[in-house]
Amino acid sequence: MDDKLLLRLRVEDLLFKEADLLDSWRLDEWLALYTDDAYYHIPPSDVDGDTADPDTSLFYIVDDRIRMQERVIRLGKVGAHSEWPRSKVRHLVSNTLVERDGDVIRARSSFVVWRSKDITSDAFVGHYRHEIVERDGNLMIAGKTCVLDMEALRPHARISIIL
């Protein structure tokens, strides 16, 4: 099998695993997919999400690894009211494109994430930009930007789950 195809399959395995862990609320295991200096970003809809910089534009989510961990801790508490009882979540990931950029593997993929809780059911649509690195022969996520292909978060009021 050619190397490029193999790389895509390895990356897809990782993305599918990430989706499965998020869908089943195994958030500690989800966090373990990320490097210690990882980030998790969601830019707003009125800037170019592919190029926007969270240091100069107001984002929805600007998590470094510390805040990612805090997000996971928070979501495990009854006091995280917006996710208690927990939403039903389903991540669909597809259209994966992968390229090597030095030591980094850059993956772009499409997503639809459904969140359902009591009377509401919302779909988040967009594309992921994953930065992936090899560590001891395994792929790990060094960063993820979720670019929403939406005009606004409406009627969604919140990104209380992890996209």
Partner 1 sequence: MEGTPGIVDDRVAGRFLVPRRAFTNREIFEKEYAAIFDRCWLYLGHASELPEPGSFLTRTVARRPILFNRDKSGEFNALFNACPHRGALVCRERNGKSPAFMCMYHGWTFGADGHLMTLPGASGYPEGFKTDPQKQMVHVPRMERHGDFFFINFSKDGEDLATYLGEAGDYLNLVSEHSASGMQIVGGTQEYAIRGNWKLLTENSFDGYHAACTHSTYLEYLKNANGALGATPLEGIGIDLGQGHALVEYTAPWGRPIASWVPLWGEEGKVEIDKIYADLQTRVGPDRADRIAHKNRNMVIFPNLVVNDIMAITIRTFFPTAPDYMEVNAWALAPREESEWLRKYRLYNFTEFLGPGGFATPDDVEAIEKCQQGYAVGGDAQYNDISKGMLREDGASFDDEEQMRAFWREWERRLAAAEA
**Site membership for partner 1, residue 67 (CB under 8 A):** yes
85 contributes a contact to partner 1 by CB under 8 A: no
Report DSSP letters for 78-138, one per residue: TT-GGGSSPPEEEEEEEEEEEEEETTEEEEEEEEEEEEEETTEEEEEEEEEEEEEEEETTE
Question: Residue 110 — φ and ψ, nearest 5°?
Answer: -100, 145
Q: Is 132 in the site for partner 1 (CB under 8 A)?
A: no
Chain residues 30-49 in contact with partner 1, contact rule CB under 8 A: 42-47
CB 74 within 8 A of CB 80: yes
86 forms part of the interface with partner 1 (CB under 8 A): no
* Cβ pair 11, 107 in contact under 8 A: yes
If one asks whether residue 59 binds partner 1 (CB under 8 A), the answer comes out as yes
Residue 152 in contact with partner 1, rule: CB under 8 A:
yes
Instruction: Please report whether residue 15 would count as binding partner 1 according to CB under 8 A.
Output: no
The residues of the shown chain that bind partner 1, judged by CB under 8 A, are 42-47, 52, 54-62, 66-67, 69-71, 73-74, 77, 79-83, 118-120, 151-160
